[in-house]
Amino acid sequence: MNLPLTPVRFLRYAEQQYPRNTAVVCGGDRYNYTQFAARVARLAGALRESGVKPGDRVALLTGNCHRLLEAYYGVVEAGAVLLPLNTRLAAGELAYILNDSGTKLLFFQSQFMGTVDSFRGELRALESYYLLDAQPEASWIAPLNYDAMLERASPCRPEITSFDENALAELFYTSGTSANPKGVMLTHRNIYLHALNTALSHKPEAAGVELHTIPLFHANGWGVAHFLTLLGGKHVMVPKFDPAEIFLLIERERANFCSLVPAMATALVNCPERTKHDLTSLKRVTIGGAAASPTLIREVEEKLNCECFSGYGLTETAPSLSLAALKPGLNPQGEARFAALASSGYAMPGCELRVVDENDRDVPRDGRAVGEVVARSDGVMQGYWGQPESTAEAMRGGWFHTGDMATWNEDGYLLVVDRKKDMILSGGENISSLEVEKAMLAHPAVLELAVIPVPDRRWGEVPKALVVLKPGATATEAELLEFCRSRLSHYKCPQSVEFLDALPRTGTGKVLKRELRKKYWKDRNSMRPE
């Protein structure tokens, strides 16, 4: 008989085929797949015994740790819906998500006790609070913590055929950079097929070692939490991104792979601790979550001595849609190679991608015409939680409309040039903020930057660069403007440069351009900041 497509099968397979392989390393804790699967089964049992019913939402507020990885399987084993929470959100934002989702049970790390206590009076549906990593003392917290729950629980391992592959398994909230976050519904089938398609694209080796540098509250863990388990690989948990600690873990655990947002990759290649560690085990770095520049790809390959390429996706697509690894038969050289690896890539197996105009007609595949990326894939969400109108709008015509503007070429490679809302319209000309950012990132003094529109009496709006310099580096506004003008048409270049100590970011590392726009448009009656 046909088996339902569910991520539960990944762990069942790993337990059977790789029982003695190290499954997870988390600080001083290590579990092989037999031990890890036993903990997962007890978590499922504990949830059932605590009153969690099929379809109930179970949330976790924690950094990367083995308990969160256990929840990726145990919550789903119990028939419930996993909701990992962004640890960088404010109390009001967390309360909004917990209320919107109707979450019934919340696990949280002790470091967030004050935050949870501050908003728990606002929650309408949440019934139980459990500490993950400490002994409970407050009366509103359940008397047993996570590990005590597991010790007392009976294992729960439902028959695989009892799972419904079209049932909701995970709920992830969008970053909410322009509006209230929306709950993205991913089914068992979405997660299962996305993991397989991602594995086919990455071609990871069996029993590989991956650093979980990306927070697991972010978009299905980029698929790694599932396909690495299927292959019997070692999950190395990174609770907080610290470049020196990353290098130490690569050396100690002989890590092969990691995924990074550009800010993380920039921090690694500029960290002086890098040369003190043996990084020869590292084989591949994947960069996603925001656009990477060719300069950054080159620096990663040269300084970390490993393969590096970009990827593209969204929370709504589970998340990966494309990877920029070079296709067989394509062999660009020099800077052309780094530009290809820094692109948004070509569609992964199980994905169909198009770039369309305002009438949903394909734009020419000439690498110049700009349109919106639309997708249909095995990973595209079931819809937005409780928002049928927003779902219908995003999924019109049977394709998910990403809101990302891109070009594509005859080889099928996409290059996302901007979000619709971040395109700069200056004197009737469309300017891609990402194109300008990539050009300026090639300057040796620039660590990171954001290009935003600011009001202009003559042109309506013009680009402005907000720049963070590398430690110890110096540069002037005039120098950076001239550097940019030597690489781009002058109308695309910033009219001004301002130096900042840091850029505001979401919990997933994306620059909060909305907040920057608010600052520089505050004296103008305009909706532009949104």
- Could you tell me whether strands 29-32 and 22-26 are parallel, antiparallel, or unpaired per DSSP bridges? antiparallel
Q: Which CATH number fits domain 423-520: 3.40.50.720, 3.30.300.30, 3.40.50.2300, 1.10.10.10?
A: 3.30.300.30
H helices of 78-187, in order, are: 91-101, 113-119, 146-152
Give the integer Cα–Cα distance in Å for 424 and 462: 7
Say what the pLDDT of residue 525 is: 45
Instruction: Dig out the tokens for 420 from the structure.
Output: 């619709």
Rounded distance between C-alpha atoms, residue 454 and residue 448, angstroms: 19
Q: Determine the Cα–Cα distance for residues 211 and 234; give it in Å rounded to an integer.
A: 9
pLDDT in 10s for each residue of the chain, 530 residues: 899 999 999 999 999 999 999 999 999 999 999 999 999 999 999 999 999 999 999 999 999 999 999 999 999 999 999 999 999 888 998 999 999 999 999 999 999 999 999 999 999 999 999 999 999 999 999 999 999 999 999 999 999 999 999 999 999 998 755 567 899 999 999 999 999 999 999 988 889 999 999 999 988 888 999 999 999 999 999 999 999 999 999 999 999 999 998 889 999 999 999 999 999 999 999 999 888 899 999 999 999 999 999 999 999 999 999 999 999 999 999 999 999 999 999 999 999 999 999 999 999 999 999 999 999 999 999 999 999 999 999 999 999 999 999 999 999 999 998 888 788 988 778 898 988 999 999 999 999 999 999 988 888 889 999 999 999 999 999 999 999 999 998 989 999 999 999 999 876 677 888 889 888 876 444 445 55
401 beta partners: 374
- Domain boundaries for CATH 3.40.50.12780 within the chain: 6-189
pLDDT in the model for residue 507: 65
Rounded Cα gap, residues 278 and 513, in angstroms: 37
Q: How far apart are CA 195 and CA 347, in angstroms?
A: 15
Range list of β-strands (E), 230-335: 234-237, 257-260, 284-287, 307-313, 320-323
Q: Helices 433-441 & 477-485, crossing angle to 10 degrees?
A: 110
Residue type (1 letter), 306: C
Picking from 325, 322, 295, 291, the residue whose alpha carbon sits closest to that of residue 308 is 325
Coil/strand/helix, residue 270 = coil
Residue (of 413, 347, 415) closest to 378 by Cα position: 347
| First-last CA distance in the chain | 51
Residue 218: what pLDDT? 87
DSSP 8-class letter at 177: S
**Cα gap 525→384, rounded to integer Å:** 32
Q: How far apart are CA 199 and CA 13, in angstroms?
A: 16
Q: What is the DSSP letter of 422?
A: G
pLDDT of residue 508: 63
The first and second tokens of residue 223, run together, are 């698929």
Residue 522 confidence (pLDDT): 63
Q: Which two tokens stand for residue 455?
A: 């009001």
Q: Would you state the torsion angle of the CA atoms of residues 340, 344, 347, 349, taken in this order, to the nearest 10 degrees?
A: 90
CA 386, 390, 396 angle in degrees (round to 5)?
A: 130
- Closest C-alpha among 151, 280, 300, 206 to residue 13: 206
Report the Cα 51 to chain-centroid distance in Å.
Answer: 31
Identify any residues that bridge with 132 across adjacent strands, giving them in sequence order: none
Which residue, chain included where needed, has tokens 């929370």? Answer: 315
State residue 308 phi and psi, 5-degree precision. Answer: -145, 135
Q: Where are the CATH 3.30.300.30 domain residues in the chain?
A: 423-520
CB crowding 266-286: b at 16 or more within 10 Å, else e: bbbbebeebeeeebeebbbbb
- Could you write out the DSSP letters of every residue in 375-392? EEETTS-SEETT-HHHHH
Domain 6-189: which CATH number of 1.10.286.10, 3.90.480.20, 3.40.50.12780, 3.30.930.10: 3.40.50.12780
Range 167-205 burial, b when 16+ CB lie within 10 A, else e: bbbbbbbbbbbeeebbbbbbbbbbbbbbbbbbbebbebe
pLDDT for position 528: 56
